[in-house]
Amino acid sequence: MRCTFVRLAGCPLECSYCDTPQAIPFDSGDVMSIDAVVEHVRKLGNPLVLVTGGEPLAQRACMPLLESLCRLDGIVQLETSGALPIEAVPADVRRIVDIKTPDSGECGSNRLSNLANLRSGDELKFVLCGRADYEWSRDFIRRHRLTDRNIPLLFSAAWQRLSLRDLSVWIIEDRLPVRMQVQLHKIIWGAEATGV
């Protein structure tokens, strides 16, 4: 689906696999008003808009931005690190919440109270760096009974750290009810391309 990315600057985390380090400083990017962002998104006319970062919830204006985007036609998604509270996100926004794995280096940042706030339309995402992360994530899913929640569980291989083939085999062997995700933009446009 054609998608407009709105990337908000600033992130308090430092994941080992971060592929957008340019968005981590809070003074990166351009200062724009909410109205200007929404107008830009409206003109692009894509059916899906994804607000991401950095960590978008680290900016106070993220909530009014999301509310304004929800007044446009189309689906609004928010991708968040899972380190900040998600309960105030407007009801019409579909949230993709990361669960940080041990090899991310940010496992201690997981805000587990967010699990109780998940709702229909949300997704949980695990980025995996290797077998140890896979087993940790599989056990996390079982321990928190996440398959009972009717929330899609996404397993994504960290770029050039875990092969898609290995991850596929492990998921099949364990008959794990997760969805494997590939970074389609990197496959199509190359790992270094930005703004695509």
- Residues of this chain that interact with ligand SF4 (CB under 6 A) are 11, 13-15, 18, 20, 23-24, 53-55, 81
In angstroms, the CA 94 to CA 123 distance is 8
Helices (H), 20-163: 34-44, 62-70, 131-143
What is residue 54's DSSP assignment?
Answer: S
| Cβ-based burial of 35 (10 A; exposed 0-12, middle 13-18, buried ≥19) | exposed
Helices (H), 71-105: none
For ligand SF4, the closer CB: 54 or 99: 54
Q: Bridge partners of 149?
A: none
For ligand SF4, the closer CB: 24 or 115: 24
The answer to whether residues 156 and 128 touch, using CB atoms and an 8 Å cutoff, is yes
Q: Minimum CB separation from ligand SF4 for residue 54, in Å? A: 5
For ligand SF4, the closer CB: 33 or 194: 194
Q: Minimum CB separation from ligand SF4 for residue 133, in Å? A: 14
For ligand SF4, the closer CB: 68 or 109: 109
Residue 85 tokens read as 């509270």
Q: Minimum CB separation from ligand SF4 for residue 45, in Å? A: 27
Q: Minimum CB separation from ligand SF4 for residue 37, in Å? A: 18
